[in-house]
Amino acid sequence: MKNGEVLLDVKELVQYFPIRRGVLQKVVGYVHAVDGISFDIKRGETLGLVGESGCGKTTTGRSILQLYKPTSGQVIFDGMNLVELNGKKMREERKKIQMIFQDPYASLNPRMTVEEIVGEPLKIHKIVENSEIRNKVKELLELVRLNPAYIDRYPHEFSGGQRQRIGVARALALNPELIVCDEPISALDVSVQAQIVNMLEELQSEMNLTYLFIAHDLSVVKHISDRVAVMYLGVIMEMTSRDELYSNPLHPYTIALLSAVPIPDPEKEINRKRIILEGDVPSPVDPPSGCRFRTRCPLAQEICAKERPEFREVKPGHFVACHLVREITPGVFRAEI
């Protein structure tokens, strides 16, 4: 399969989590974590999935790997619907989809050495002979710019950035096609973040990887992504190419979000007008009717409470879920960057 072909196609993915109460653990409600989202990722590209905490971006990543059983919808990877696969077949497919986690302290077992951590997937999937594992792990460490001499060390002997490199090495062990990067740099020191971002970019071109890059930081997402999807309360609000999203955002939420990001330049900041949204993100247990964003949207109208806006293509490749897209006058409601 060539670059540019669809590698992952997510269709109407829904992921609810039941809330249980009482002695009988009766289901009293659902957390609407992901509520009918559709997107695709083409081979070799990076799709940035951005949103505030609790918007369902991490759940989306985990549902793609079938770490949760999706409530409904399809996750088509390389032509195969992962939702329908049985455990054995899924395990085969999972080799091709790996994950990098946010917290490099919690995602590595403190009682295992680097060799055991990075070698574990090789062992489980019987990729190489047991006698070869050590050499393969050393190769992987070199790939993520870690000294192979560290192979017998434990996680506590490494800094946050180095641990994240170990996590990346583990993800690369099975030679995956798609990597779900779940906030891979947000737990790291500022001066170390750029090292990891640069490495992920280099690895992508060296190994022809496809990334789903999940983050809350719009600046990082802009830096690394080819296309960007903006999530809010379990729904994708807007999705388009990175240049289009950052220069011509159409959804009021995207506009407000971009407007809220500080720019490290006092001359720009001093005159920059911000769109300040009111209130906090509502609870996903009982999300607003109609458009999820309407309770905080400065432009909301009657229709927004009644009907859920369709996620439609308003320009080639530019998808927006908003009733008012055509009525937002550019220049009046816009994000100053």
Task: State in angstroms the smallest separation of the CB of 134 from another protein.
Answer: 26
Task: State in angstroms the smallest separation of the CB of 91 from another protein.
Answer: 36
Beta-sheet strand order (sheet of 210-215):
97-100, 178-182, 210-215, 46-50, 227-232, 235-241, 318-320, 312-315
Site string for another protein, 106-145 (x = CB under 8 A): ----------------------------------------
Task: State in angstroms the smallest separation of the CB of 244 from another protein.
Answer: 13
CA distance 247 to 268: 16
Any contact of residue 147 with another protein (CB under 8 A)?
no
Beta-sheet strand order (sheet of 26-42):
26-42, 6-21, 72-77, 80-81
SS3 90: helix
In this complex, which beta carbon is closest to another protein, that of residue 177 or of residue 244?
A: 244
Any contact of residue 94 with another protein (CB under 8 A)?
no
Burial of 20 (0-12, 13-18, 19+ CB in 10 A): exposed
Task: State in angstroms the smallest separation of the CB of 146 from another protein.
Answer: 13
Any contact of residue 237 with another protein (CB under 8 A)?
no
Any contact of residue 298 with another protein (CB under 8 A)?
no
User: Radius of gyration over alpha carbons of the chain, in Å?
Assistant: 21
Task: State how far Cα 121 lies from the chain centre.
Answer: 22
Position among 218, 233, 239, 321 found at the interface with another protein (CB under 8 A): 218
DSSP one-letter code for 309:
P
Any contact of residue 91 with another protein (CB under 8 A)?
no
Any contact of residue 260 with another protein (CB under 8 A)?
yes
Lookup: tokens for 161? 């950035």
Any contact of residue 98 with another protein (CB under 8 A)?
no
Q: What is the DSSP string of 128-188?
A: S-GGGHHHHHHHHHHHTT--GGGGG--GGGS-HHHHHHHHHHHHHTT--SEEEEESTTTTS
In this complex, which beta carbon is closest to another protein, that of residue 281 or of residue 304?
A: 281
In this complex, which beta carbon is closest to another protein, that of residue 111 or of residue 267?
A: 267
* Residue 320 falls in which region: left (phi positive, over 0), alpha (psi -120 to 50) or beta: beta
Any contact of residue 197 with another protein (CB under 8 A)?
yes
In this complex, which beta carbon is closest to another protein, that of residue 130 or of residue 198?
A: 198
Any contact of residue 170 with another protein (CB under 8 A)?
no
Give the phi and the psi of residue 234 in degrees, each rounded to 5.
85, 5
Position among 38, 74, 195, 248 found at the interface with another protein (CB under 8 A): 195
Where along the sequence are the contacts to another protein (CB under 8 A)? 52-53, 159-162, 189-195, 197-198, 201, 216-220, 222-224, 246, 256-270, 272, 274, 276-281, 337
